[in-house]
Chains A and B, each alone.
Chain A
Amino acid sequence: MPASSIIGEADLHALVDGELDAERRRKVEDHLLAHPGDAALVEGWRRQNAALRAAFEPAALEMLPLSLKDAATRTHAPQQGPIETGAIHWGRPGASRPSQRLDEIRASRRRQAALSTVLTLLAGAAVAGLAALVFAGRNEAPRPPVSAVLTQSYAGRASLTYATYASDARPVEIEVSRKGELVAWLAERVGFSRPPNLAGLGLRLIGGRVLPGVAAPAGLLIYERANGARLGLYFERAEAAGAPLAPRAAQGVTAIEWRAGGFAFVLVGPLAQEEMQAAAESAATAIAAAPDEKR
């Protein structure tokens, strides 16, 4: 009986998968020379393998989300993680907590939300009644100005700031060539002064400025790509427990918000949402790794 007649399909798979010893491998390869149909099968499986690697190898090269860093050594999630966000995919708030704890937190938040809603409705009714008395006889009820609505959230303020400055001929107050001065200024006025390095994503810091915030001055750093696209990193002091908004995309601009170290950070820019998310992850990682700024 010729050697090739005892070559089964299992041998062909084993050849593709490197499971044969040298002698058996030589026999199978000889078999393939005489059996083009089997050789085509083997070639097809090798093409499958190549297609799988091409499709999924990039996942192994992506930057790890914070939720996966040190996951094996983490005994429990910190009460307040380095980043708390509903915007970036690693950061579903408390994602690394045990599910029971998560349920408790959610139930607590639901209770707080319900109580808050009731109180808001009562307060609203009282204000509405008072307003009705005050404005009785007038044709229109008073409405908050549009700008007030737009600036109610960090992301809203960041988007307005970005729209104002990013396209300006002078987008920054102090350029990165005077980085020392910029850092000292931001540290003094805003309390955060460590511009994350996004050069790995092709984003070059061009400078920054101080802005009016709600409770304290806010800051804006502007990054630029080689093609001229600009991203703004807005930061303002914020309650860590606040719930960040989901990513928002409007008028070609995406805003991604997260919280860290007592600040709300919002990355705003015109890149594709996946690229914006990658940039936000990179910035958040760099910020989380930096020592605490003065509080």
Chain B
Amino acid sequence: MGKKAEILERLGGIAPALRRYSRALCAGAGHTLSDELVQSALQSVGARIRARELRPADLQEARLEAYAALTASAGKRLTDASRPTPRHPPIVHGLAELSLDDRAALLLVSLEGMGYDAAARVLGIRREALLAQLMRARAKLGVVGLPPADAESGARRAASHLRIVK
């Protein structure tokens, strides 16, 4: 089996994780839409690899491309998506309140366990911008089950946020 074929074959193995990310990114917008995003992302990356538009060095690179494809298409598909219902847990409602960019940054790092460089690559932004989005998301989401952090700590975060810009 050639390298390309092997990557394509193993790419299917990330479907469960991609599905987890998609479900969270959709934030209560529905499982059907969530699965359509996963299917679309996998097919898109697979087709690009077969067409040699994309030549991933390894599975990890193909994986990041799949996350990137999913995130990009979510931006188009989630504009008119339904909101979470009362049966969803508070964390889902919290996610739905975040901007898609901030939500994606938080989920890639906190849920998918990606490093900052990998997550920044998925989102097509610089590492510093990713960290800013991550900070915003965590501050807005607050501590689950508790009220968001107070204004004083918010001010502190703004100050420390300035310090990270190189």
Interfacial residues, chain A to chain B (CB-CB below 8 A): 8-10, 13-14, 17-19, 37, 41, 44-45, 47-49, 51-53, 55-57, 59-62, 64-65, 67-75, 89-90, 92, 95-96
Are the C-beta atoms of B160 and A47 separated by less than 8 Å?
no
Determine the distance from Cα of A71 to Cα of B89 in the docked complex, in whole angstroms. Answer: 30
8 contacts between A and B (CB under 8 A): A10-B131, A17-B134, A49-B110, A53-B111, A56-B24, A60-B16, A92-B32, A95-B36
Are the C-beta atoms of B42 and A72 separated by less than 8 Å?
yes
User: Which of B35, B42, B131 has a CB less than 8 Å from the CB of A65?
Assistant: B35
Determine the distance from Cα of A171 to Cα of B131 in the docked complex, in whole angstroms. Answer: 62
Are the C-beta atoms of B111 and A56 separated by less than 8 Å?
yes
The residue on B at minimum CB distance from A65 is B35
| Of A10, A37, A53, A72, most B-chain CB atoms within 10 Å | A72
CB neighbours of A9 from chain B (8 A) = 135, 156-157, 160-161, 163-164
Are the C-beta atoms of A60 and B17 separated by less than 8 Å?
yes
CB neighbours of B144 from chain A (8 A) = 47-48, 51
Are the C-beta atoms of A75 and B50 separated by less than 8 Å?
yes
CB distance from A25 to the nearest CB of B (A): 15
CB neighbours of B157 from chain A (8 A) = 9
Are the C-beta atoms of A13 and B138 separated by less than 8 Å?
yes
Are the C-beta atoms of B50 and A48 separated by less than 8 Å?
no
The answer to whether the Cβ of B83 comes within 8 Å of any Cβ in the partner chain is: no
Are the C-beta atoms of A48 and B138 separated by less than 8 Å?
yes
Determine the distance from Cα of A114 to Cα of B133 in the docked complex, in whole angstroms. Answer: 52
The residue on A at minimum CB distance from B36 is A95
CB neighbours of B20 from chain A (8 A) = 56-57, 59-60
CB neighbours of A71 from chain B (8 A) = 12, 15, 38-39, 42-43, 46
Are the C-beta atoms of B160 and A64 separated by less than 8 Å?
no
User: Which of B8, B11, B134 has a CB less than 8 Å from the CB of A13?
Assistant: B134
CB within 8 Å for A19 and B38 given contacts A49-B110, A72-B45, A73-B46: no
CB neighbours of B135 from chain A (8 A) = 9-10, 13
CB neighbours of B66 from chain A (8 A) = 72
Determine the distance from Cα of A52 to Cα of B164 in the docked complex, in whole angstroms. Answer: 26
CB within 8 Å for A59 and B23 given contacts A13-B134, A68-B38: yes
CB distance from B135 to the nearest CB of A (A): 6
Binary interface profile of B, 74-115, with partner A (CB < 8 Å = 1, else 0)?
000000000000000101100000000000001101110001
Are the C-beta atoms of A17 and B116 separated by less than 8 Å?
yes
Determine the distance from Cα of A8 to Cα of B134 in the docked complex, in whole angstroms. Answer: 15
CB neighbours of B12 from chain A (8 A) = 69-73
Are the C-beta atoms of B19 and A55 separated by less than 8 Å?
no
Interface residues of B in 1-51 (CB under 8 A from A): 8-9, 11-12, 15-17, 19-21, 23-24, 31-32, 35-36, 38-39, 42-43, 45-47, 50
